[in-house]
Structure 1
């Protein structure tokens, strides 16, 4: 039985639909990330799981219990917010132990649990400090410890790193992942940052306009996007338009040049236009060879990005970007030079026809 079940979840605010038929099952110990732009519905789902919002319709089951209309305090969930939400008049230790105090635990039990949490977040020396005496990263660690202190069944993290600078964000997301694995706690992480989602998740739920676009592992989401939105939102992507020549063999023409796709196409696709997706790192500058696709193009721009050199080349009405490592011994083409862009059949993906 799945640990957390979300069935046909729907939410409206007046005439506005914030969430359309959200369905998902989550296993115990998984860390799931809801990824998407602002206003896509990801935080709405999180707030309904937490009990801060009531679904217009649908069911939420946690460990076999229907918690859809249960009070937040009775759901056994912990929540970490973007803005820390620490009590400024309480010390670090008092903040961490606040939920246990509300639950009327003994002072001895509270002290022991607070000490355990301070060790877990590696801040035992800061127990007597107040939030204003801490850095942003330290405050978020305290907020995480407070959420974990009551031993929740599910940990909910609502963009917990977005207020921090880049270096601290990377460090803290690694710590969150390590803690989650150590404790084995089922966790849901909300972010609009694709790098965070790819690095921290067991599975990613990509959302757009209140709908689920795709659910899958980080590798699946990045390498095998099903819709144009997923392909363009996660990573850099080249989108090409092609006309299907032979659906059975996956042959498709782009600017009069024949390519072979990663999979066969439906028989009734013959003659239709389909959108193709191709990642920049999948392309190489190489002459045509058997078993690989090749596109004739003309170099338009070369950009040095440190470890990577990005080359932009024109194929008729489309511009294709490709990335190569910055090797000082590599001879790069010049702007205006004709080149052959080579890539495997497996790297040329056909996006779903009904993708928005």
Structure 2
């Protein structure tokens, strides 16, 4: 059986690994000239770590386990402290951070090199599994559409699906190497959050999101950030200052505002952002893509037809991923996107009064998810 995975991001590579473990021949088609995602980090919650375990991907020393942190205001006053030990007790695993490039590399290296093709633009995908691309075509028993929020395959096969909508915030991201490594933190102000996530190698991933109209593009990103956020608490000014200007990223935040009625069409399965793109306010976008990957591989390995496997995948993944996407929208509106002074004061008071044990349990209903078991590789034969 042959699967073609369109898109070499977190979800696409994860799906390819799972299908490969299930005994399928897999071809990954990536439009970029090489696999990689530089300039940013990502948080991996316990549900994602379990998926990586199931896929057999060991990220080892690239994972930065978070041991301290909390919520602060723009002046640096602590609103709530984060108990890492309690978090691990309630969630089953620690919260970790990783360079996106290291995550992609770890996933890529878990696949045979000859199954990966870069610089390939897919021009057409049909419901019966025909994939046309620059330089040729492939007939697949299964096509995985994992090409992101602007998925051309979703647009072609689900023409009635509305386009992604602006969630109300724009975001800046960067990776810095400050003189002193801070702990994990999220700081709030009116319509704004600034997050700090320590990575390995002395690096720190930071991001700013704030409520504004879409499509505003400052001519000088660093000057703009220093002007608007240089007065926040340490180490935020330093993080902005030591990030190379060419490494700064700026994106408006979009999501699929209208949930899809199905993630499958014929022999094609939508996966990750192509199926359920969500705002980043719960840190679950990549985590949900890995969940998709493991569930799809398990369905293919256990059902006797591709059609049944895709039906199982849709039945299991669509309700959960759409609940998480909806929760992410709500989290943004109740947190970093608040602009009403009364609501902001209430949020601040609640954060200060929230018991540390209760705060540590936050999100456990999402991160406590456990993946199905995938086939184990056969042990090597003894001579």
TM over 0.5: no
TM-score (norm 1): 0.22
More strand by share: 1
TM-score (norm 2): 0.21
Larger radius of gyration: 1
More helix by share: 2
Flag the structure with more relative contact order, 1 or 2, with Cα contacts below 8 A and sequence separation at least 6.
Answer: 2
